Amino acid sequence: MSDHPKISAEEAEGHVRALLRYIGEDPTREGLLDTPARVVRAMTEHFGGYGQGPEAHLERTFSEVEGYDELVLVSDIEIYSHCEHHMVPFVGKAHVAYIPNGRVVGLSKIARVVDVYAKRLQVQEKLTAQIANAIQDALDPQGVAVIIQAQHFCMCYRGVKKAGSWTTTSKLHGVFMEEPAARMELLTLVGMNRSIGGAGV
């Protein structure tokens, strides 16, 4: 989190007006009069993760699971985030898995942890690691794996303009890194029967 003090909504709206003038627009014309306020409200929603931490979603765990110690996978969690280099969206799916070590967490909490970090300015590699590390730290499971597949608008409609390209990142902890069988089970369930994380399967 930044130590810099936040500016007011009114100040932020003034900056949006300046950007509108920068691109050659007239912020006083009818269609743009309310745009600065709308942009600031949208940014508050897009970047709501700065006001949250993952701990609140992971602090309540359950141990009455009949000794369950096999893979738990929450797949196809939709991700909407913004590139910190160009502040344009990247969108895709996250697949989050862990193998419990006596404690499990509510499934919806996994998706909420993904949102906490996705709703910040990000790079996909950092986002992947942050989700995995938060679950590792909170649950101390036998293993954690996070795989993210996303399309980056900064590649789709600017720069190289490769609209069909996907970026895949992964972060593995514990048995998913150390045991090929666990990694193969994960990739099979996710539908990615190939090596990730620099380790062959």
Q: Which residues are catalytic?
A: 83-86, 124, 152, 154
- Picking from 54, 53, 166, 147, the residue whose alpha carbon sits closest to that of residue 96 is 147
Q: How far apart are CA 58 and CA 121, in angstroms?
A: 22
Is the distance from CB of 89 to CB of 80 less than 8 angstroms?
yes
Distances (CA, A) of 184 to 126, 145, 167, 178: 24, 12, 20, 11
The two beta strands, 72-83 and 121-122, are parallel
DSSP 162-185: -TT--EEEEEEEEHHHH-HHHHHH
Q: How far apart are CA 132 and CA 101, in angstroms?
A: 15
Helix ranges (H only) for 2-159 are: 9-22, 35-46, 55-58, 107-118, 124-139, 153-156
